[in-house]
Amino acid sequence: MKEFGYQRVSDVAGAVAVLGADPTARFLGGGTNLVDLMKTGVERPGRLVDVRQLPLDQIEPTSDGGLRIGATVTNSDLAAHPEVRRRYPALAQAVLAGASGQLRNMATVGGNLLQRTRCGYFTDVTKACNKRAPGSGCPAVEGEHHNHAILGASEHCVAVHPSDMGVALAAFDAVVTYETADGPGELPLGWFYLPVGDTPHQETALPPGALITGVTLPPAPVAARSRYRKVRERASYAFAIGSVAAALDVRDGVVHDVRLALGAVASRPWRARAAERVLTGAPADGGTFAAAADAELTAARPLPRNGYKVTLMRNLVVAVLTELAEEATR
């Protein structure tokens, strides 16, 4: 492991200034992803800037009825917060579906959004990988890709984003706020992750050296009736092979409002807008739910060994929406 410096920062301006002065420096949240990648040589920062003492560890209501979640809130505190559980239950469920209790005690909101892909070629520095070493190729296209993307990928990279939390945030139109030396900025989650294209190493639209300060959830009454469902190869402590975050408001048997996002299918949490268009105003029944899933998955381009994900995601969307619709009529 390469030698590196370590420093704690206690104010946002100071944190941003350190990264501005030292391009080899990286922010350290819980370290549950960054430190692992440093041990394998995938990441080689010259300095770690520990952000956990920044005053960004609060979850607060916003004046318009939403919630503001600080970047250093741990995954455990996020999942346990009463307002998150009451107003955005799928977010709490998504966080609890990830990692383990010990990891969630360490992992932060900012770090979760920026965690890297679990593609085995990316984490093995002896292998080619366009994301880690631009221009070196993507062995996953012809090789091991059973858990890779079916939506929005390119021949340059077919990896998926591993975050569970991000899928619920995508469903609820979260906005990421950040700070740079030039001042604050914000990015809706739909714009936060860049399309893969031919630059899979450029993952987000964050300016260089930006510190994520938090995530804002706009008010969304429909989110109170929401659910996160994750399919994985083990019952716990495993990344998703497919997941769904959904919220559904049914009135007189008709879909009045809906939010739907898919996980482990693309390089970013995938907001299912085509499905939402089919659902809105339609009868809340199995036929509509299947048609909505098909509308979204018509864009799927599976690889030879991950076609199963198309069926999996169709069934998952229909199952979760059916459960939410049944609950709405009770």
How far is residue 309's CA from residue 265's CA, in Å, rounded to a whole number? 8
Give the span between the Cα atoms of 86 and 73, in whole angstroms: 18
Tell me the C-alpha distance between 327 and 281, whole Å: 18
Pairing of strands 59-61, 67-70: antiparallel
Contacts of ligand FAD in 31-90 (CB under 6 A):
31-34, 36, 51, 71
- Which residues inside 217-276 make contact with ligand FAD, applying CB under 6 A? 239
110 binds, among ligand SF4, ligand FAD, none (CB under 5 to 8 A by kind): ligand FAD
Question: Residue 138 binds what, of ligand SF4, ligand FAD, none (CB under 5 to 8 Å, by partner type)?
Answer: ligand SF4
Q: How far is CA 118 from the centre of its chain?
A: 13
Give the C-alpha separation, 233 to 296, whole Å: 24
Q: How far apart are CA 326 and CA 306, in angstroms?
A: 31
Name the H helices within 143-267: 165-171, 189-192
Cα separation of 101 and 237, whole Å? 9
Residue 27 binds: one of ligand FAD, ligand SF4, none (C-beta under 5 to 8 A by kind)? ligand FAD
* Binding status of residue 159 toward ligand SF4 by CB under 6 A: yes
Pick one of 157, 260, 284, 292: the residue that binds ligand SF4 (CB under 6 A): 157
Rounded distance between C-alpha atoms, residue 74 and residue 58, angstroms: 10
Q: Does 93 bind ligand FAD (CB under 6 A)?
A: no
Residues 236 and 83: their CA atoms lie apart, in Å, by 25
**Segment near ligand FAD (CB under 6 A), from 129-137, 158-166, 186-194, 298-306?**
158-166
Least distance CB 315 / ligand FAD (angstroms): 20
Among 56-64, 130-138, 210-218, 238-246, the segment contacting ligand SF4 (CB under 6 A): 130-138
Q: Does 158 bind ligand SF4 (CB under 6 A)?
A: yes
Beta strands in the chain (DSSP E): 5-8, 25-28, 47-50, 59-61, 67-70, 175-180, 183-188, 211-217, 226-232, 240-251, 254-263, 270-271
The interface partner of residue 239, options being ligand FAD, ligand SF4, none and the CB cut-off 5 to 8 Å by kind, is ligand FAD
Residue 303 Cβ vs ligand SF4, minimum distance, rounded to whole Å? 10
131 binds ligand SF4, rule: CB under 6 A: yes
Q: Can you give the binding site for ligand FAD, defined by CB under 6 A? A: 26-34, 36, 51, 71, 98-99, 103, 106-108, 110-112, 114-115, 162-165, 211-212, 239
Q: Can you give the binding site for ligand SF4, defined by CB under 6 A? A: 117, 119, 121-122, 129-131, 138-140, 157-159, 200
